[in-house]
A and B are shown apart, each in its own frame.
Chain A
Amino acid sequence: MYIVDYIKEVASAVKSLATGMKLTGYYFTHPKEIITQEYPDNRATLKMADRFKGEVIMPHDENNEHACTGCTSCELACPNGSIKVITKFEVNAEGKKKKAVDQHIYHLDMCTMCNLCIEACPTDAIKMANTFEHSVPDRNMLIKRLNNNGSKIREGVE
């Protein structure tokens, strides 16, 4: 029967509209569901996700030692040339010359947070930090040197 189908169609349409209105009505009457973060106000308690990729950093331990061997894998992996590794040769205790990192230059202004440098690093010397407040008055300040002053490679990292 055509008329029965017609009434069924109207009834199901009304039911589906009511379902939608029930959900928005629930949200309206339950302000606790609000997911908005009032950012500058909650800065002290703000918790960023660990997966969030904000910038590349090179962790240093308490002896000011890092794990970077200066192999330039990250520089080669970077698709837009945001990383420049300047290497030097150090003479170790046995009198042998060994390649080491002099300056690990990182251009935050060009970086697309693609994570390829972190995947390319054989010694896990660099990683992604979840910081995000990168605003600076001069763009030269976005060009960063990742290895600290006077830092050296950790013992046993090849």
Chain B
Amino acid sequence: MISFEHITKWLQAWLNAHMSPILVLAVETVLIVILAIALFAVLGLVLVIMERRVAAFMQIRMGPNRVGPWGLLQSTADTVKLIMKESIVPTHADKFLFNLAPFIVMIAAMLILAPVNFAQRFHIWDLNIGILFITSISSISVIGILMGGWASSNKYSLLGAMRSGAQIVSYELSAGLSILTIIVLCGSLKVSDIIASQETGWWIFKGHIPAIVAFVIYLIAVTAETNRAPFDLAEAESELTAGFHSEYSGMRFALFFLAEYINIFIVCAVGATLFLGGWMPFHIGHLQGFNHVMDYIPSSIWFFGKTFFLIFVIMWFRWTFPRLRIDQLLNLEWKYLLPISMVNLLVMTVVAIYHLHF
């Protein structure tokens, strides 16, 4: 069976046979950059149309269904429109920072892609502190948001950026603690090790109630971290006219928009890796026949299936819950999520020390 692993192995062997090692590295780097950009473009198109259709069905509407079959080309048409639009820079804006901000957000999103395992032994850079790398790089995107809000010289943008800063900084705590809960169980920060430790069962099943609590807290925290409803008061169309990116137009706006969806994909990919076993197939104990059937499904389909399931859950949140006020938002984090995840981490540590998990 052809898998991504075979393709990469074959490509590397072919390149090594024909070129010098330095040239091989250069060619592979270019290939990875092209693949990453292609993945971003495809993800952006797919997630936008998915979001709009899911939202429509949840609100008893039809959603875009005119462009292409079932409206699947709607996001492509929107992108073409955005490319052709003029990108206006406000007169009083700080031009350099204003132009730099969308790229910082995009580059932060691109960097997080490095340690993610997309399929069995198919990843860009499986470094030994993968999860730490992801959590630290994901905090960089807040700099881009603050930069964009400040440089726009618009009070709404500034307010949105400040809210976003407060929100991301506080929710990173509980997201980090819920990630730690799983790290305690598997004892490694390396993404491939975390997935390998779930060969006998995903952590959400093996880790008893603490794992489920951590999973729920992780989902809530990353929804806040990606600035999505019900925590979208950084954008808050109704009060701040889109917040930090209200002065952006054309392709710069598209970059911010794309970065939001890429960030959703990445946090869901990390969630799938930590709690749902990454590319590991679904196995039930000792049911050999069932397990063999599950093994036949390619690992990339398992990974993307789980990730898209989590993305769907986050979209489900967005189209069900009303937006929180800023004080409610901070109350939820500091009075509820953080204490609960701390106690949860303690319980999980006890579970891990005494090997109470399956």
Task: Let me know if A38 is at the binding interface, CB within 8 A.
Answer: yes
How many Å lie between the Cα of A28 and that of B347 in the bound state? 36
Interface pair B54/A28, CB less than 8 Å apart:
yes
Measured CA separation A25–B61 after assembly (Å): 14
Cβ of A17 within 8 Å of any chain B Cβ, yes or no, is yes
- Contact mask A27-47 → B, CB, 8 Å, 1/0? 110010111101000000000
Contact between B58 and A27 (Cβ–Cβ < 8 Å)?
yes
A20 lies within 8 A of chain B by Cβ? yes
When distances are taken between beta carbons in the complex, the residues of chain A under 8 Å from B62 are 34, 36, 38
In the assembly, what is the distance between CA of A36 and CA of B66, in Å?
14
Chain A neighbourhood of B321, CB < 8 A: 17, 20
Q: Are A33 and B336 in contact (CB under 8 A)?
A: no
Interface residues of B in 255-312 (CB under 8 A from A): none
Give the nearest-CB partner of A38 in chain B. B62
| CA gap between A21 and B145 in the complex, in Å | 30
Q: Which B residues are in CB contact (< 8 Å) with A25?
A: 316
Choose one: A10, A20, A35; the contact of B60 (CB below 8 Å). A35
- Closest chain A residue to B216 by CB distance? A14
Number of interface residues of A (CB under 8 A): 15
Contact B340 A10 (CB under 8 A): yes
Complex Cα–Cα for A31 and B59 (A): 10
- Proximity bits, B312-331, A CB within 8 Å = 1, else 0: 00001101110000000000
Closest A residue to B58 using CB positions: A24
Residues in A whose Cβ lies below 8 Å from that of B317: 21
Q: CB distance B58 to A28 under 8 Å?
A: yes
A34 to B55, CA, bound (A): 12
* Cα of A33 to Cα of B57 in the assembled complex, Å: 9
Chain B residues positioned under 8 Å from A31 (CB to CB): 57
Residue from B59, B60, B61, B320 in contact with A21 in the complex, judged by beta carbons closer than 8 Å: B320
Residue of A nearest to B230 (CB): A17
A24, B54: Cα distance in complex, Å: 10
Tell whether A33 pairs with B60 under 8 Å between CB atoms, given A10-B336, A10-B340, A28-B54: yes
CB distance from A17 to the nearest CB of B (A): 7
Q: Is the CB of B319 within 8 A of A24?
A: yes
Task: Tell me the complex Cα distance, A19–B124, Å.
Answer: 41
Does the CB pair B340–A24 fall under 8 Å? Answer: no
Measured between C-beta atoms, what is the minimum distance from A119 to chain B in Å? 36
Contacts of B59 in A (CB 8 A): 27
Residue numbers in A under 8 Å from B320 (CB-CB): 17, 20-21, 23-24
B40-58 interface (Cβ within 8 A of A)? 54, 57-58
Closest-by-CB residue of A relative to B322 is A20
In the complex, the chain B residue whose C-beta lies closest to that of A34 is: B60
Residues of B with C-beta under 8 A to A24: 58, 316, 319-320
Q: Is A34 a contact partner of B316 (Cβ separation < 8 A)?
A: no
Complex alpha-carbon distance, A130 and B317, angstroms: 40
Distance between Cα atoms of A17 and B216 in the complex (Å):
12
Contacts of B57 in A (CB 8 A): 27-28, 31, 34
A38 to B58, CA, bound (A): 18
Binary contact readout B160-181 vs A (1 if CB under 8 angstroms, 0 otherwise): 0000000000000000000000
CB proximity of A90 to chain B, nearest CB, Å: 56
**Is there contact, CB below 8 Å, between B316 and A21?**
yes
Min CB–CB distance A70 → chain B (angstroms): 49
Nearest residue in A to B54 (C-beta to C-beta)? A28
Question: Please, which residues of chain B bring their CB within 8 A of the CB of A35?
Answer: 60-61
**A36–B61 CB distance below 8 A:** yes
Q: Which residues of A contact B340 (CB under 8 A)?
A: 10
In the complex, how many angstroms separate the beta carbon of A15 from the nearest chain B beta carbon?
A: 13
Residues of A whose CB lies within 8 Å of any CB of B are 10, 17, 20-21, 23-25, 27-28, 31, 33-36, 38
A-B interface, 7 closest residue pairs, ranked by CB to CB distance from nearest: A24-B58, A36-B62, A24-B320, A20-B320, A28-B57, A28-B58, A21-B320
Additional A-B contact list (4), CB under 8 Å, known A10-B336, A21-B320, A33-B60: A17-B320, A24-B58, A24-B319, A28-B54
